[in-house]
Amino acid sequence: MKKMILASLMLFIGVQCSFAYNNGIGAFAGFPGSGYASSDTEYANINSYTEIWFSCYFTNGTGGYAYLKNGSSLVDSFQYQSESVYSHSATYTGSWNTMELGIDCSNGSIGLAELRW
């Protein structure tokens, strides 16, 4: 049931964000034993001054971490530790180069991180 809710949420957010931003990448991970990789890292070369939107969502379990880097500089991160706070999003405007989007899940969690620009 929670997987169906997460899938529905991802579809809703994807449709909602598709009207505001033209490009994007996503990283998806699941706890060890879930059938998904426990971590995922994706890269994008933006190479321009623009607005970006970082978001991450977690469900199940109690452990997860998502981050966004511009080169080696951390732009934003979110530590998931309980089911009470399961999502985070933020927008930033600046000059972006090679962006790194990563997510790691443990303790029964499943998560999605997104970067849109």
Q: What SS3 string covers 47-116?
A: EEEEEEEEEEEEECCCEEEEEEEECCEEEEEEEECCCCCCEEEEEEEEEEEEEEEEEEEECCCEEEEEEE
The answer to whether the beta carbons of residues 102 and 52 sit under 8 Å apart is no
Query: What is the pLDDT at residue 33?
Result: 81
Q: What confidence tier does 35 reach under pLDDT thresholds 50, 70, 90?
A: confident
Task: Show the domain range for 8.
Answer: 2-116
Domains in the chain, number? 1
Looking at the whole model, is its pTM more than 0.85? no
Cα–Cα separations (whole angstroms), residue 94 to 11, 18, 70, 74: 28, 20, 10, 14
What percentage of the chain carries pLDDT values higher than 70?
Answer: 81
CATH number for 32: 2.60.120.380
